[in-house]
Chain A
Amino acid sequence: MSTASARTPKLGVQAATKVYQTGSGDLLALDRCSLDVQPNEIVSIVGPSGCGKTTLLWSMSGLHRLTGGAILLDGNEITGPRPEIGIVFQEANLLPWRNLDANINFPFEIKGEKPDRAWIAHLLHRVGLDGFGGKFPRELSGGMQQRAAIVRALALKPSVLLMDEPFGALDSFTREEMNHLVEEIWLDTKTTIVFITHSIEEAIFLSDRVVVLTTRPGRVAKIYDVPFARPRSLEIMATKEVFDLTNRIKMDIVGERRPQAKEQPEHKSAEIVRIRP
């Protein structure tokens, strides 16, 4: 699908700035945030809570318009939702009045297209949900719901998969299972993945690069390469490299929080109110 040259990033975030208008004043969520995601790359975004991770992801998806800057998909500016971009939301976000089959058909219904049955069957098999098509979301565990949501996001064969803290509500065992599943799917499809998470371990395990955002307003603080071959096993998590990397990222995030008070006057002139939602 991608005809862009190897130089063009899959997703180019260029000085992305987002201001929310709230009842108590404007809220600067993203401040000139820049980042390139290469084709077939898995990039995780971590940062203190409320740092604008989700805002960045929603802007990449075209669901939110940026106040300033631009986000490019294959070199073209994203101005609205795009079929090449699939999203996996927090909490699965399945429609409770539809069974799994109908949930997975939902994107096709909206687009007025015929669902690609063979591809969907392949995906359902891949995530281990064969034979669950007639079940309703409430009849499935949290992990199974999120698997179904992944199938729904991949059903339209997107070239970019945006995942917004998809496994935050799952227990740690299910989470590890899901992380393996994401890697398997990536090995299968080579879809570019942008993954938002609170868990540094999850970010390191999954990603080629881990991006650390600053406290609000979100800006890229650091980017770490994670040079492990795939498929990865959980054993890499016990290596010294991973241990050191985890600690450095943790320090980046925790250290970020401390000088916050000093940093504040800088933005006072811009009349920015900091509140946490």
Chain B
Amino acid sequence: MSGGDAIPEFSKAKSGGDGQDVSLTNLSAFASGPGIKSGAEVAAILAVAVVIIGGIELALRLFHVPQYIMPPPSSIVYALFDEFPLIAPHLGYTLVELISGFAIGAVVGLVMAAVITQFPFAEKIVAPYILILVTTPMLALVPLLILRFGFGYTPRIIAVALAAGPMVMINAATGFRRVDSAKIALARSYGASTLQIFWKIRAPMALPMILVGLMIGAIFGLLTAVGAEMVGGGFGLGNRLTSYSSMIQMPQFFAVVLILSTLGILIYVLFFLIGKKWASWET
């Protein structure tokens, strides 16, 4: 340590601490998202929604657009309620794949990010492979996984984990790399161990970026789960999509699409709320 001290420099620490040098597009969206204030605002938002959806309904009926091209919103909603008992089990299958695959991927991604950022040299060696994992659509591996593991849950869960893990890892690593030398010096001045510095300084500082990574990972996981279900196997929402479209049951098809977008929104809202609770100090 004798000669290895860094020259005390605070301008860097300052920007690190305030998070100005990190682009937290998603999290600033969390923090500054418009809050709905008055009844009038709610009414206006609802009115616009009614006009848009009603307009689509009206236009589709007026121009006699056939159902197999684009069903009107009303028949999609009808199909959603009518078919829901049949779709529900498939929603369950997809959720099982998404949650278990995401959990595996997130844990592995987080641990790898935490370990690798402790060893800058190891990080340099691993970085290109991580980049390949992030940029390669894991969907491409699904046919191979099916060959090896059959048509059950296994290939899909692996695909979801492979899609979510690298996303979590690359974002978490960015978070862990946000070294604020002044805050670490503060902890060290009280005799903090490396482990204490990790849990009490590095981890909380990385949390906003970790949440961004988890959210992107979950969305990518959903994407990959549905994609994998479309490739093969007899269950899951993706399988419903191929099945309904092959039978030209377009209202049912769009009902499943509606469920999928609701899932995506729920994922966003979940991490929005977590971020608001635990990472709102960063604005």
Chain A positions within 8 Å of B, measured between CB atoms, are 18-22, 27, 29, 54-55, 58, 61-67, 80-81, 83, 85, 87, 89-91, 93, 95-97, 106-107, 109-111, 136-138, 156, 277
Contact = CB atoms under 8 A, between A and B. Distances in A.
A223 B17 CA distance: 36
A20 B5 contact: yes
Contacts of A107: 190
Which of B10, B182, B204, B205 has the most C-beta atoms of chain A within 10 angstroms of its own C-beta? B10
Nearest to A62: B189
Most-contacted residue by chain A among B2, B4, B18, B183 (CB, 10 A): B2
Which of B6, B185, B186, B282 has its CB near the most chain A CB atoms (within 10 A)? Answer: B186
Contact of B191 (A55, A83, A96, A106): A83
Contacts of B189: 61-63, 81, 85, 87
Contacts of A138: 281, 283
Contacts of A58: 5, 8, 185
A93 B5 CA distance: 19
Nearest to B192: A110
A90 B187 CA distance: 15
Contacts of A277: 7, 9
Given A90-B182, A93-B182, A63 B282 contact: no
Contact of A20 (B3, B185, B196): B3
Given A65-B2, A91-B14, A96-B282, A111 B7 contact: no
Given A90-B10, A91-B182, A138-B283, A67 B2 contact: yes
B259 interface: no
Nearest to A18: B5
13 contacts: A19-B3, A20-B3, A58-B8, A63-B188, A64-B8, A87-B189, A89-B185, A91-B10, A91-B14, A97-B279, A97-B281, A109-B200, A137-B281
Contacts of A55: 7-8
A106 B204 CA distance: 13
B207 interface: yes
Nearest to B19: A96
By Cβ-Cβ distance, the 10 closest A-B pairs, closest first, are A110-B190, A64-B5, A65-B2, A54-B8, A96-B281, A97-B281, A107-B190, A110-B192, A97-B204, A81-B189
Contacts of B44: none
Contacts of A63: 5, 185, 188-189
B186 A93 contact: yes
Nearest to A164: B8
Given A81-B189, A91-B10, A65 B281 contact: no
B103 interface: no
Given A55-B7, A91-B17, 11 more contacts: A21-B4, A62-B189, A67-B2, A81-B188, A83-B191, A89-B182, A90-B182, A91-B10, A95-B183, A95-B204, A111-B190
Contacts, number: 90
A110 B191 contact: yes
A106 B190 CA distance: 9
Contacts of A93: 17, 182-183, 186
B281 A106 contact: no
B5 A65 contact: yes
Interface string B14-36: 10011000000000000000000
Nearest to B279: A97
Nearest to A63: B185
B201 interface: yes
Contacts of A54: 8
A160 to B, nearest CB: 12
A61 B186 CA distance: 11
B1 interface: yes
A27 B2 CA distance: 14
A64 B6 CA distance: 9
A213 B130 CA distance: 49
B186 to A, nearest CB: 6
A156 B189 CA distance: 12
Interface string B188-212: 1111100010001100110100000
Contacts of B191: 80-81, 83, 110-111
B186 A89 contact: yes
A21 B283 CA distance: 36
Contacts of B279: 97
A65 B183 CA distance: 18
